[in-house]
Amino acid sequence: MPQQEPLYDHNQLTSYIEAHRGEPASLIQVLSQIQQAAGYLPKPVLVEAADALGLSLTEVYGTASFYAFFIFRPRGRHGIALCNGTACYVKGAAAVKARLEQELGIKAPDTTPDRRFSLDVVRCIGCCALAPVVTVDEDVHAGVDPEKVPGILEQYK
């Protein structure tokens, strides 16, 4: 499967950066906007951001890499997040993770070669009452057990 770079609108990303030129305190805001638009943080854009905000590239990387939210490689079309909060853990999240990895043929946090799915393990998404929980994009799947995994994946082409 050929690896395709996702198309992001470079001008749009530049406009986020330019809106905060000279404001180093806005770094996280800018990074969030870039990631929201592009799906990840492309290196050339980070170079631009560092320059505009008046930070060094290492400062930008140092901050961005500190936060679990920021990612530096393009992701799949659908983002799967397995919750590994306490409630999900005691209710069997580990078995769900194993099944997800088996079905997708990848380990978290990776992306399938066809770029259909990315798999992440996250810390508590605050749906503890419905544990174990898996989110795919914006959808929350509650009370997931390993048998339900193929059916859930089937819903996302």
Asked whether position 97 contacts another protein by CB under 8 A, the answer is no
Rounded-to-integer distance, Cα 35 and Cα 29, Å: 10
Binding residue for another protein, selected from 78, 97, 99, 141, defined by CB under 8 A: 141
What the block records as the tokens of 23 is: 């404001």
Beta partners for residue 5, in sequence order: none
What are the helix (H) ranges across the chain?
10-18, 27-38, 43-53, 57-64, 86-90, 93-104, 149-154
Total Cβ atoms within 10 A of residue 124: 15
Among positions 5-24, residues that touch another protein (CB under 8 A) are 24
Binding residue for another protein, selected from 66, 73, 137, 150, defined by CB under 8 A: 66
Taking the complex as a whole, the smallest distance from the CB of residue 2 to another protein amounts, in Å, to 31
Asked whether position 75 contacts another protein by CB under 8 A, the answer is no
What the block records as the tokens of 107 is: 């380990």
Binding residue for another protein, selected from 54, 114, 142, 145, defined by CB under 8 A: 142
Asked whether position 44 contacts another protein by CB under 8 A, the answer is no
Sort 55 into a burial class: Cβ within 10 Å, 0-12 / 13-18 / 19+. Answer: middle
Asked whether position 95 contacts another protein by CB under 8 A, the answer is no
Beta partners for residue 122, in sequence order: 83
Size of the site for another protein (CB under 8 A): 38
Taking the complex as a whole, the smallest distance from the CB of residue 115 to another protein amounts, in Å, to 23
Residues forming the site for another protein (CB under 8 A): 24-29, 31-32, 62-63, 66-70, 84-87, 89-91, 122-131, 133, 138-142
